[in-house]
Amino acid sequence: MSPTFILPLPVLLTATRYKAGDELIRGETIIIHTGAAARSPGVSGIESVPWLDNKGILDLSELPDHLLVIGGLEFGQAFRRFGSRVTVLERGNRIIFREDPGISSLAQELLEDEGLVFHLGTEILFVEKDGAEITVMYRQGTDKKKIEGSHLLVAAGRAPAVDNLNLEAAGVQTNERGYIEVDDGRTSKKHIYALGDVNGKGAFTHTSVHDGQVFLDHYLYGGERRISDRNLIYAMYIDPPLARVGINAAEAARRGIDFLAAEMPMSAVSRAREKAETGGVMKVITDARSKTILGTR
């Protein structure tokens, strides 16, 4: 069996030669598994502001008086419960835009009940720090507004960790968002695999593990497991948590599927009432003809 090298930060020299530190390595099968990092918002003035990402916010030694959040909900809710004022600036016209509008509205209502403040449909113009305060200037509709806070959390998504890989030298293609393009794990060079967050096929631990299982099936057994065949399991750790398996109603409609939808409020679930966790709703999408379950949340 040919050797396989897993390099944390390889520099590609050619399609088969790589450099790790000062060591030159040749491999017939290569795995790129470099993950992703918090994406900078690319806003004017951001370089002069000590903004926080998902790692930096965990290093705080003080509780923010007023936490401004660009995107993201989980840390916002957590710090609101710690006692911080929290304002969320969201680019879209609703939060959690990948979900059905009803789910988005319910989640926003539950979070607002806890004291989170939302400004939707915002375009961040620039940020600056003046003394102890951070100022965010933004446009909402036709109006220009500003808001001040003690801390700024940027949760504007993740960016693939590919900047130092020299992918062009090996002929490895990326898409418009910078993720390595893959066909069930294989890149444009069939002996090079890109697994985990770096391929943009799922930003979760379980999807990364599944990528590895698909690779091993191909590599060791010549099998036919496919990343594209998996049912995505998705979770957002707000409280109550948002979890989904399969597709939602919007995706079913986009695919032209004749579907049925049913939902039940958590207040109708005995265990939820027993635990005093009655916020939220359960929803099921089924194929109208076969009654096959297409998605649940």
Q: What is the CATH number of the domain that holds 184?
A: 3.50.50.60
Q: Is residue 258 part of a domain?
A: yes
Q: Is residue 238 part of a domain?
A: no
Which helix (H) or strand (E) is 212 found in, with range? helix 205-221
Residues 63 and 129 in one domain: yes
Is residue 68 within 8 Å of residue 152, measured between CB atoms?
yes
Going by C-beta distance under 8 Å and a sequence separation of 6 or more, which residues neighbour residue 134? 49, 68, 127, 128, 148, 149, 150, 151, 152
* CATH number where 253 lies: 3.30.390.30
Place of tokens 């502001």: 49
Q: Is residue 101 part of a domain?
A: yes
pLDDT in tens, 161-180: 888 888 888 888 999 889 99
Residues 111 and 147 in one domain: yes
* Overall pTM surpassing 0.85 (yes/no): no
pLDDT band at residue 1, thresholds of 50, 70 and 90? Answer: very low
Quick one: pLDDT at residue 7? 43
pLDDT in tens, 228-258: 888 778 888 999 999 889 888 888 999 999 9
Residues 59 and 110 in one domain: yes
d(CA 152, CA 134): 7
d(CA 26, CA 246): 40
Q: Is residue 240 part of a domain?
A: no
For residue 43, give the 3-state DSSP assignment.
coil
Counting the structural domains of the chain, the total is 3
Q: Domain of 71?
A: 46-154
Residues 109 and 177 in one domain: no
Q: Is residue 83 part of a domain?
A: yes
